[in-house]
Structure 1
Amino acid sequence: MYQVLARKYRPRNFNELVGQNHVSRALTSALERGRLHHAYLFTGTRGVGKTTIARILAKCLNCETGVTSTPCEVCPTCRAVNEGRFIDLIEIDAASRTKVEDTRELLDNVPYAPTQGRFKVYLIDEVHMLSTHSFNALLKTLEEPPEHVKFLFATTDPQKLPITVISRCLQFTLRPLAVDEITEHLTHILGLESIQANQDAIWQIAESAQGSLRDALSLTDQAIAYGQGEIQHQDVKDMLGLIDRTIIYDLILAIHQNQKSRVSELLLQFRQQALDVSLVLDQLISTLHELALLQYLPDLSLKYSAEINQKIMQLSGLISAQDLQLYYQIACKGRADLQLAVTQEQGFEMTVLRLLAFRPLQANEIPQNRVIAQQPVVEQAQTTQQSGAPVVETQQQATVQPVIEEFPLHDDYASDDEFNNQSAQSHINEPSSDDFIDEEIQSAEQTLEAQTNTFAESAEIQPSNNQDQIVFDPNADAGLFGFDDIPQESAQVVEEPSSDDFLLAEYLPEEAQPQVTVEQPELAQEQISSVEQSQASVVPAQVAQQSHESLMPQDILQIPEQVLEGEWTVEKWEYWFRNSQLSPAVQELAQYGVMTGTINAESVFHVPEQYQQLLTQLQHNLEAALKEQWPQTHFHVKFEDVAQLTPYQMQHERKARAYQRAEQLLNAEPAVQDLLQQFDGELQNIQLK
C-alpha cells in the first residue's frame, strides 16, 4: 500500500531531523548526561516537527539499550514506537478530549507503572485545546509526577496555555524551516524516489510551503500526481495558481519608466488570466522588498533561475532607494485597503494606477502649472536685459519678498550663541518673527510712510522703465559691489534704504509697493576713475562669489583636503584635527588656536591664555595623537593672543556662506516662489543640519 511522503520519510532519530538544531542539541545533551525533565513543551507552526521530536524523545527514553540519544531502531520497543503501537506511549488528541472528565480518567492511570517500557510517556497534541478545568486538574500531577512518567506537550498556539502550565515545563520553540533547508530535503527525497524534478519547481514548492516541511511533502505528492510522475516548473505554477515572476518584474519596470501603455497591457493580461489579485499584490510587495534588500546587500544569495536573477539585479540597479520605499508604502497601503474596494480587482488596479501617478519628480522635470507661473518672471528678465539697464542685483525679485529669520547653524565644533552673535553682525539686522504680530501692523504702516517721505527728499523715485537706474537689493552685500569705495560726496546720493523699509512693505498691497530707484548722479572725472579702479579691484571677489553660487551648502561646509607635509598652516591644522580621532572636547579646544612649525618636527600650538586651564587637562591627549601619526613630533604650547585667522573663525565663515547659498536655493525654487505668491507667505527658520 502506498504511503505518503510525509509519513514515509518522517525522521526516526535526531540525526535525520531537518532543521531545529537548537532543539536536537539540547535534548541530545540532556539524554547523554541523564538530566531529564518531567515535562516538555514543544511550540511552533504546523509541520515543523513537534510531534516527531516528541516521538523520537519517547523512543530514546524507552530503547532497550538504555536511555540514549541514538536509539538502536531494531529492538522491539523502537519498532513499536515507529509503528505507533507502543503501549507505554499514550498519544492524546486534546482537541477531541477537552472535558475535565477525560483529564481525570487520564490522571487516574498515572500512578501505575509502565507495562513494557522504562517510562510511561503522555504525548498530548494541541494541548491548548484543553478546558480551564482540565488544566487545573492537571497542575498538581504535572508539577510532581511519579518518576516513571514523562509529559510531552505540543501546541501551535502557546499563548492560550495558562502561565502556570508553561512554568512547569521546559519549553522549546521550533522555528519555520528556511526555503534552502526544505529544497535540499525535497531534492534528497526525490532522488531516493527516482523522480525527475526541475530545480526551479522544487524551489517553488519549498517557498509555497511557508516553512512547513509537512506541507512541502504534501505539495510534492500533489505535483508528482499532477505531472504524471515528473515535477516541472510550469506544472507547479499551474497547480498552485502562482503568478509568473517575470510579469511582476515587467510591471514594476513599466511603472518606474512611466510606460502607461505597457501597464495597461499587463492589467488586461491579469484580467484575461483571472489571477487572484491579492496574490499578485503580495508578490509585488515581496519583490519590492527583495529589490530594496539587494541595494543594501548586493551579495545576497538569490535562489531563482539565471534569467530571473538577472532581471532582479537589473531592476535593483535601475530603481533608486527612495522610489522603492515609495512603491512599497503605496503597495502595502493598497493591500490593506483591498477589502474596502467594491471588488478586489478594482482595488488592485487602483493601487497600480496610484503607483503610476505618484512618483518622485526627476531632476529635469517641472510641473506644467509651475512653468506657466514662472513665465511672466522670465519675460520680465528678458525685457530688463534688452533694455540694457545697469541692474545691480543678480536674482529675480519676487512679487512677495519673504521675511527670513536667521537661526544659528548647529555644529559640533561651535557654540550656538557665539555664532548667532557673529551672524547678527555679518547680515542685515532683520526683525524677528515676533515683531510682526497683528497689533503692530498699523504702527508698521505709519513708520513705513514716514520713512518713505524722508527717503524721497534725497532720492527721486523714477519709473521702472528708466534705463539709468540702480535697483537696490535689501539682502545684497554693499561691499561686494564696491559701494564702500565710492567717494564720500556721492555716498550720500546712493545711500540704500534700510531693511525695515522692505520688511514693512510686506503689509502693503502689491500695487502700493513702489520700485525704489535712485538716479545715477553725474560724477567728476576723477571720481569716475576712482570708482572704476575700486570696482576693478573687486572683480576677484565677484568671481569667488560666482564660484560659491555653483556649489551646494554641504559642499561649502566641507573642509578642503590638505596634504599633511611640510610647514603647518591653519588649513592643514584644521583639516588634521577635524578628521582625527580626537574626542569632541579636544577638537573644541583645538579650533581656538593655530599650529606653527613643521609637521613631524618642531610644532608649537598657539592658544589664548583663557584656555590654559582646559588645555592643561587635555594637552596629553592632543600630544599623543600628534606623536601617534608623526613619531618625531616635538610638541610645545604657547599661551598668547592669536592674531591670525583661527579654524573657529574659518568654520563660521563657511557657515555664513552656506547659509546664504541655502537661502538663495530656497528662493530660487519654483515651489517656494509659487507658495509665497499664492498664500502671501514668508520663509522663516531656515536651518542647515
Structure 2
Amino acid sequence: MYQVLARKYRPRNFNELVGQNHVSRALTSALDRGRLHHAYLFTGTRGVGKTTIARILAKCLNCETGITSTPCEVCATCKAVNEGRFIDLIEIDAASRTKVEDTRELLDNVPYAPTQGRFKVYLIDEVHMLSTHSFNALLKTLEEPPAHVKFLFATTDPQKLPITVISRCLQFTLRPLAVDEITDHLSDILNKESIQSEQDAIWQIAESAQGSLRDALSLTDQAIAYGQGAIHHQDVKEMLGLIDRTIIYDLILAIHQNQRERVSQLLLQFRQQALDVSLVLDQFISTLHELAMLQYLPDLSLKYSAEINKKIMTLSQLVSAQDLQLYYQIACKGRADLQLAVTQEQGFEMTVLRLLAFRPLQTNEITISPTVETQQVASKISEQQAVSTEQDIFERNETQTQITAQEIENTTKDSISDLVPEPELTQQAISEQIETATQNHVEQQIVSHSEQIADPSTTLNPQTMIEDTSTVVANSQHQDNLVVEQLNENQIHNKEVQDSDDLSLTSFGTDFSENMQPIQNLAATEDIFFLAPAADVSTPSEQPISKNIPEQLVSENVESHISTQNLSAIVQEQSSDSQQSPQEILKLAPQQLEGEWNVDKWEFWFRNSNLSPAVQELAQHGVMIGQIDGHSTFQISKQYENLLHQTQHALEASLKQQWSNTVFNVQYGEVESITPFHMQNERKVRAFNRATEMLHAEPVIKNLLDAFDGELQNIQLKI
C-alpha cells in the first residue's frame, strides 16, 4: 500500500531531523548526560516537527540499549515506537479529550509502572485545547510526577496555556524551516524516489509551504500526481495558481522607468488571466524584499533558473535602495487596504497607479516648480506676444505712431499706485488687481493707436516703440523674488529695476499684433526636466508656455548682494551656455576642499555629503566662511534660527567627521554674499533656457513650426 511522503520520510532520530538544531542539541546533551526533565513543552507552527521530536525522545528514553541520544532502531522497543504500537507511549489528542473526566482517567493510570519500557511517556498533542478544569486537575501531578513518568506536550498556540503549566515544563520553540532547508530535503527525497523534477518547481513548492515541512511534502505528492509522475515548474504554477515571477520583475521595472503603456498592458494581462490580485501583491512585496536584500547581500544565493537569477541581479542594480523602500511601503499599505476597496482588483490597480504617481526622481532629474512670480511674469510675456504682430498693420497702412516711453511709464505708475494694497489684502488679490490694471492699460493704448491710424492728420514717427509695464509681486516662501527682464533686439540689455515696497516695475519691449488672442498663464504644475543625453520631446496638453522664454531670471535679493565680479562671472557662464548641454550646466564644478571656505566650496561639499535633505535645505540658505579643517563660521539669516537649532548637531558632526580639527560656529544675520540657493536657481533657469534653445534649433521641429506657424507648449525633456 502506498504511504504518503510525509509519513514515509518522517525522521526517526535526531540525525535525520531537518532544522531545529537548537532543540536537537539541547535534548541530545540532556540524554547523554542523564539530566532529564519530567515535562517538555514543544511549541511552533504546523509541520515543523513537534510530534516527531516527542516520539524520537520517547524512543531514546526506552531503547533497550539504554537511555541514549542515538537509538538502535533494531530492538523491539524502537520498532514498536516507529510503527506506533508501543504500549508505554500514550498519545492523547487533547482536541478530542477536553473534559476534566478524561484528564482524571489519565491521571488514575499515572501511578502504575510501565508495562514494557523504561518510562511511561504521555504525549499530549494540541494541549492548549484542554479545558481550564483539566489544567487544574493536571497541575499537581505535573509538578511532582512519579519517577517513571514523562510528560511531552505539543501545541501550536502556547499563549492559551496557563502560566502555571508552562512554568512546570522545559519549553522548546520550534521555528519555521527555511526555504533552503526544505528545498534540500525535497531534492533528497525525490532522488530516492527516482522522480524527475525541476529546481524552480522544488523551490516554488518550498516557498509555498511557508516553513512547514509537512505542507511541502503534501504539495510534492500533489505535484507528482498533477505532473503524472514528474514535477515541472509550469505544472506547479498552474496547480498552485501562482503567477510567473518574470511578470513581477517586468512590472517593477516598468514602474521604475515610468513606462505607463507597459504597466497598462500588464494590468490588462492580470485581468484577462483572472489572477488572485492578493497573491500578485504578495509576490510583488516579496520580490521587493528580495531585491533590497540583494543590494546589501550581493552574494546571497538564488535558487531560481539562470535566466531568472540574471533578471533579479540586474533589477537590483537598476533600482536604488531608497526607491525600493518607497515601493515596499506603498505596496504594504495597498495590501492592507485591499479589504477596504470595493473589489480587490480595484485596490490592486490603485496601488500600482499610486506607485506610478509617487515615482521618485532619478539621479539625472531635477524638479523646477514655477513660483508665483515667474507664473505672473510669463503671463505678462504671453500677453505681449499676443500683440507682437500689430506692427504689420501699421506698416501696411504706411503709418507709424509715436508714444514716449516716459508717458506710458508714468501712466502705468499712476494706475498701479491706486492698487497699493491694504494690509488685509492677500497676495493673490494683489496679483489679480495688478494683472487686471496692466491688461486694461494695454487695451487703452491699442485703442489710442487705432484712432491715430484712422486720423489722416496724425503725424507718425517711423521708429515706433511701445513699452509696456508688467507688475510682479515679490514675495515667496524662500524669498525667491525673481525679476524677469525681456528686451527687444534694438533695446539695451541693462535696465534698472525699480522697487516700490512689495511691487517691482520692469520694462518689457512689446509690439502689437493683429489678432488679440487670449493667452493662458503658465501651468501651476511642476515641470520635471529629464537631463539624460538621449532625450525625446514630450508636449502634454497642458496650458501653453510662451515661445519667448526669458533669457535671464535673476533674483532681486541676489542682485542687490552680488558683487561686480560675481555678476561678470554669471555673464560669462551664460555666454558659455551655448556650448553646454543642460546637464552640464547643472553639474557643479569640482572643488579642492582645502584652504578658506567660499560659496563654491561650501555648495560642492554639502550637496555631495551624506547630510539629510532637511539639513541640506537649510545649508543652501547660508554660507560658510573661515578655514577648512579649522575655525569655520556658518552665516545664515535670523529667520532660520529655530530650524537650524534642530539640525545644527548633524551639520557639525558631518564636518568634524571629514575634518577632525573643525571648530564650528553659527552666526545669525543678513547674508551679504550670494548663497547656494540663489546659485542653484540661476543654474536651473539657464539649463531650462538652454534646453529650450536646443529644442528650437532642431531642424525637424523648426521646419514644423515654420510650416504650420506653430509653437511649442509646456516644453519638457524626458529620458
Contact 2:44 / 2:175 at 8 angstroms: preserved in 1?
yes
The match for 2:676 among 661, 665, 686 is 661
Could you tell me how far apart the structure 2 residues matched to 1:514 and 1:545 are?
22
- SS of equivalent residue, structure 2 residue 145: coil
Q: Which residue matches 1:376?
A: 379
* Aligned-pair CA distance for 1:72: 0.8
* Aligned-pair CA distance for 1:287: 1.4
Query: Which protein has the bigger helix share?
Result: 1
Contact 1:248 / 1:283 at 8 angstroms: preserved in 2?
yes
Contact 1:594 / 1:647 at 8 angstroms: preserved in 2?
no
Could you tell me how far apart the structure 2 residues matched to 1:164 and 1:539 are?
85
Query: Which protein has the bigger strand share?
Result: 2
Q: Which residue matches 1:168?
A: 168
* Aligned-pair CA distance for 1:561: 3.7
**Using a 3 Å threshold, how does the CA distance of structure 1 residues 368 and 340 change in structure 2: closer, same or farther?**
farther
Q: Which residue matches 1:349?
A: 349
Could you tell me how far apart the structure 1 residues matched to 2:21 and 2:563 are?
77
Q: Which residue matches 1:245?
A: 245
* Aligned-pair CA distance for 1:271: 2.2
Q: Which residue matches 1:295?
A: 295
Which amino acid in the other structure matches residue 113 of structure 1? Answer: A
Contact 1:5 / 1:217 at 8 angstroms: preserved in 2?
yes
- SS of equivalent residue, structure 1 residue 42: strand
CA displacement, residues 383-424 of structure 1 (integer Å, 9 cap, x when unaligned)? 9xxxxx9xxxxxxxxxxxxxxxxxxxxxxxxxxxxxxxxxxx
Q: Which residue matches 2:12?
A: 12
* Aligned-pair CA distance for 1:325: 2.9
CA displacement, residues 643-685 of structure 1 (integer Å, 9 cap, x when unaligned)? xxx9668x86999689932366579999xxxxxxxxxxxxxxx
Contact 1:42 / 1:154 at 8 angstroms: preserved in 2?
yes
Q: For 1:316-395, what aligned pairs fall within 5 Å after superposition?
A: 316-361=316-361, 363=365, 375-376=378-379
Q: CA RMSD in A?
A: 5.2
Could you tell me how far apart the structure 2 residues matched to 1:85 and 1:657 are?
94
Could you tell me how far apart the structure 2 residues matched to 1:150 and 1:295 are?
50
Which amino acid in the other structure matches residue 378 of structure 2? Answer: Q
* Aligned-pair CA distance for 1:348: 2.1
* Aligned-pair CA distance for 1:79: 0.8
* Aligned-pair CA distance for 1:543: 5.6
* Aligned-pair CA distance for 1:365: 6.2
- SS of equivalent residue, structure 2 residue 275: coil
Contact 1:63 / 1:75 at 8 angstroms: preserved in 2?
yes
Could you tell me how far apart the structure 2 residues matched to 1:12 and 1:655 are?
81
TM-score of the two chains, using structure 1 as the length reference: 0.61
**Using a 3 Å threshold, how does the CA distance of structure 1 residues 546 and 207 change in structure 2: closer, same or farther?**
farther
Q: Which residue matches 1:51?
A: 51
Q: Which residue matches 1:609?
A: none
Could you tell me how far apart the structure 1 residues matched to 2:329 and 2:134 are?
47
Which amino acid in the other structure matches residue 379 of structure 2? Answer: P
- SS of equivalent residue, structure 1 residue 123: strand
Q: Which residue matches 2:147?
A: 147
Q: For 1:675-686, what aligned pairs fall within 5 Å after superposition?
A: none
Q: For 1:158-557, what aligned pairs fall within 5 Å after superposition?
A: 158-361=158-361, 363=365, 375-376=378-379, 502=501, 505=502, 513=503, 515=505, 539-540=564-565, 542=567
Could you tell me how far apart the structure 2 residues matched to 1:136 and 1:257 are?
64
* Aligned-pair CA distance for 1:281: 1.4
Could you tell me how far apart the structure 1 residues matched to 2:303 and 2:674 are?
50
* Aligned-pair CA distance for 1:115: 0.9
2:95 is the alignment partner of 1:95: yes
CA displacement, residues 149-200 of structure 1 (integer Å, 9 cap, x when unaligned)? 1110000011111111111111100000001001101111111111111111
Q: Which residue matches 2:35?
A: 35
Could you tell me how far apart the structure 2 residues matched to 1:275 and 1:351 are?
16
* Aligned-pair CA distance for 1:23: 0.4
Contact 2:596 / 2:625 at 8 angstroms: preserved in 1?
no
Which amino acid in the other structure matches residue 95 of structure 1? Answer: A
**Using a 3 Å threshold, how does the CA distance of structure 1 residues 365 and 57 change in structure 2: closer, same or farther?**
same
* Aligned-pair CA distance for 1:593: 11
Which amino acid in the other structure matches residue 175 of structure 1? Answer: R
**Using a 3 Å threshold, how does the CA distance of structure 1 residues 112 and 544 change in structure 2: closer, same or farther?**
farther
- SS of equivalent residue, structure 1 residue 16: coil
TM-score of the two chains, using structure 2 as the length reference: 0.58
Contact 2:199 / 2:303 at 8 angstroms: preserved in 1?
no
Could you tell me how far apart the structure 2 residues matched to 1:653 and 1:378 are?
39
Contact 2:302 / 2:309 at 8 angstroms: preserved in 1?
yes
| Structure 1 gaps, min length 5 | 384-388, 390-439, 443-464, 477-493, 506-512, 518-536, 563-568, 576-590, 597-604, 607-645, 671-689
Q: Which residue matches 1:124?
A: 124
CA displacement, residues 430-457 of structure 1 (integer Å, 9 cap, x when unaligned)? xxxxxxxxxx969xxxxxxxxxxxxxxx
Could you tell me how far apart the structure 1 residues matched to 2:211 and 2:70 are?
27
Could you tell me how far apart the structure 1 residues matched to 2:357 and 2:210 are?
34
CA displacement, residues 543-583 of structure 1 (integer Å, 9 cap, x when unaligned)? 678899999xxx99x99445xxxxxx789xx99xxxxxxxx
Q: Which residue matches 1:682?
A: none
Contact 1:11 / 1:52 at 8 angstroms: preserved in 2?
yes
Which amino acid in the other structure matches residue 74 of structure 1? Answer: V
Contact 2:41 / 2:172 at 8 angstroms: preserved in 1?
yes
Could you tell me how far apart the structure 1 residues matched to 2:266 and 2:498 are?
65
Could you tell me how far apart the structure 2 residues matched to 1:357 and 1:592 are?
41
* Aligned-pair CA distance for 1:55: 0.4
Could you tell me how far apart the structure 1 residues matched to 2:106 and 2:127 are?
14
**Using a 3 Å threshold, how does the CA distance of structure 1 residues 495 and 228 change in structure 2: closer, same or farther?**
closer
Could you tell me how far apart the structure 1 residues matched to 2:674 and 2:77 are?
84
Could you tell me how far apart the structure 2 residues matched to 1:658 and 1:39 are?
79
* Aligned-pair CA distance for 1:495: 14
CA displacement, residues 528-557 of structure 1 (integer Å, 9 cap, x when unaligned)? xxxxxxxxx965454678899999xxx99x
CA displacement, residues 454-478 of structure 1 (integer Å, 9 cap, x when unaligned)? xxxxxxxxxxx989xxx9x9999xx
Could you tell me how far apart the structure 1 residues matched to 2:337 and 2:286 are?
17
Which amino acid in the other structure matches residue 236 of structure 1? Answer: V
Could you tell me how far apart the structure 2 residues matched to 1:547 and 1:107 are?
98
Most deviating of 262-271 and 56-65: 262-271
**Using a 3 Å threshold, how does the CA distance of structure 1 residues 594 and 284 change in structure 2: closer, same or farther?**
closer
**Using a 3 Å threshold, how does the CA distance of structure 1 residues 75 and 82 change in structure 2: closer, same or farther?**
same
* Aligned-pair CA distance for 1:249: 1.4
- SS of equivalent residue, structure 2 residue 96: coil
Contact 2:338 / 2:348 at 8 angstroms: preserved in 1?
yes
Percent of aligned positions that are identical: 74
Q: Which residue matches 1:638?
A: none
- SS of equivalent residue, structure 2 residue 334: helix
**Using a 3 Å threshold, how does the CA distance of structure 1 residues 540 and 194 change in structure 2: closer, same or farther?**
same
| Structure 2 gaps, min length 5 | 387-404, 406-421, 425-465, 481-495, 508-561, 575-581, 603-623, 632-661, 686-719
- SS of equivalent residue, structure 1 residue 15: coil
* Aligned-pair CA distance for 1:78: 0.8
* Aligned-pair CA distance for 1:104: 0.7
Contact 1:186 / 1:217 at 8 angstroms: preserved in 2?
yes
- SS of equivalent residue, structure 2 residue 196: coil
CA displacement, residues 78-129 of structure 1 (integer Å, 9 cap, x when unaligned)? 1111111111111000000000110111111111111111111100000000
**Using a 3 Å threshold, how does the CA distance of structure 1 residues 14 and 114 change in structure 2: closer, same or farther?**
same
- SS of equivalent residue, structure 2 residue 152: strand
Could you tell me how far apart the structure 2 residues matched to 1:382 and 1:560 are?
46
Contact 1:87 / 1:115 at 8 angstroms: preserved in 2?
yes
Could you tell me how far apart the structure 2 residues matched to 1:332 and 1:594 are?
48
Contact 1:40 / 1:171 at 8 angstroms: preserved in 2?
yes
Which amino acid in the other structure matches residue 281 of structure 1? Answer: L
Could you tell me how far apart the structure 1 residues matched to 2:376 and 2:304 are?
51
**Using a 3 Å threshold, how does the CA distance of structure 1 residues 86 and 254 change in structure 2: closer, same or farther?**
same
Contact 1:593 / 1:647 at 8 angstroms: preserved in 2?
no
Q: Which residue matches 1:115?
A: 115
- SS of equivalent residue, structure 2 residue 255: helix
